[in-house]
């Protein structure tokens, strides 16, 4: 995990003009693109990042996971970076890359993978297209398209939603090569804390994720976050 430590060190020595942010979260189930990476169990998460006035951004996201049934602790860390530019019409475009690494597994580094993305943000909706040449280290070439949005209901409550689709373009996999996932819910804000209650649904792991096929495809999700 040297690359994680190097990025953390860089975040702590950014220019004074850069905006540093951090979020601590506890969720009832770590759902990644609709699939539970915590075996339908709670997870603790942290997201640390910075935004430079020039448009560059970077950060690290970390969470406990349970990909394989083992007694040892398992974790995931995602380092990401990119460049965002706001246009005159108010739309923001961004492109970047991320690297996801896993620790505490029998095959250390077996599921690590890199991903490229490009996206936009306009008012209360954002879209992103991500490409991975070796998804979860399983020689799968994938494209993931997603849309996320929110709408204010009151001063302290918002309606939030997500829709995504994973498409496996090539690789050693049999059966269904696509997976749809979605989420709808409400988010309550109180100062620096946020509580989100949502219903999540997914077609399943489609063999693209190193988890058992009997994990729940949907359910209720509660996430409590605190912005530092």
* Mean pLDDT, all residues of the chain: 89
Give the pLDDT of residue 15.
58
Judge whether 192 and 226 are in contact, CB under 8 Å.
yes
**Residue position matching structure tokens 């209650």:** 197
Kindly list the structural domains of the chain, giving each domain's residue range(s) and its CATH number in brackets, ordered by start: 2-227 (2.40.160.40)
Give the pLDDT of residue 110.
87
Query: Strand runs (DSSP E) across 56-210, as ranges?
Result: 56-65, 74-86, 92-103, 113-122, 125-132, 141-152, 157-170, 178-190, 193-202
The strand pairing partners of 224, in sequence order, are: 26, 195
Query: Could you list the pLDDT tens digit for every one of the 228 residues in the chain?
Result: 555 555 555 555 555 567 899 999 999 999 999 999 998 999 999 999 999 999 999 999 999 999 876 667 899 999 999 999 999 888 999 999 999 999 887 667 789 999 999 999 998 999 999 999 999 999 999 999 999 999 999 999 999 999 999 999 988 876 678 899 999 999 999 999 999 999 999 987 667 888 877 777 889 999 999 999
Instruction: Quote the Cα angle for 97-98-102, to 5°.
Output: 165
**DSSP secondary structure string for all residues of 22-70:** EEEEEESS-EETTEESSTTS-EEEEEEEEE-TTSEEEEEEEEEE-SS--
């Amino acid at each position: 995990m040297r690359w994680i430590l190097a990025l953390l060190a860089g975040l702590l020595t950014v220019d004074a003009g850069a905006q540093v942010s951090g979020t601590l979260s506890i969720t009832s189930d770590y759902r990644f693109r609709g699939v539970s990476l915590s075996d339908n169990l709670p997870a603790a998460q942290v997201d640390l990042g910075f935004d430079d006035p020039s448009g560059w951004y970077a950060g690290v996201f970390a969470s406990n996971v349970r990909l394989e049934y083992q007694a040892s602790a398992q974790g995931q860390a995602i380092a990401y970076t990119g460049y965002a530019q706001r246009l005159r019409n108010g739309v923001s475009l961004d492109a970047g890359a991320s690297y996801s690494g896993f620790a505490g597994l029998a095959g250390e580094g077996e599921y690590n993978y890199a991903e490229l993305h490009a996206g936009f943000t306009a008012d209360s909706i954002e879209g992103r297209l991500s490409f991975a040449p070796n998804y979860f280290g399983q020689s799968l070439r994938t494209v993931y398209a997603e849309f996320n949005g929110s709408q204010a209901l009151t001063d302290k409550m918002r309606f939030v939603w997500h829709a995504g689709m994973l498409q496996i373009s090539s690789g050693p996999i049999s059966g269904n090569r696509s997976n749809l996932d979605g989420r709808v819910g409400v988010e309550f804000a109180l100062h620096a804390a946020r509580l989100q209650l949502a219903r999540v649904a997914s077609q399943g792991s489609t063999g693209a994720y190193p988890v058992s096929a009997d994990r729940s495809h949907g359910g209720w999700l509660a996430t409590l976050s605190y912005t530092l």
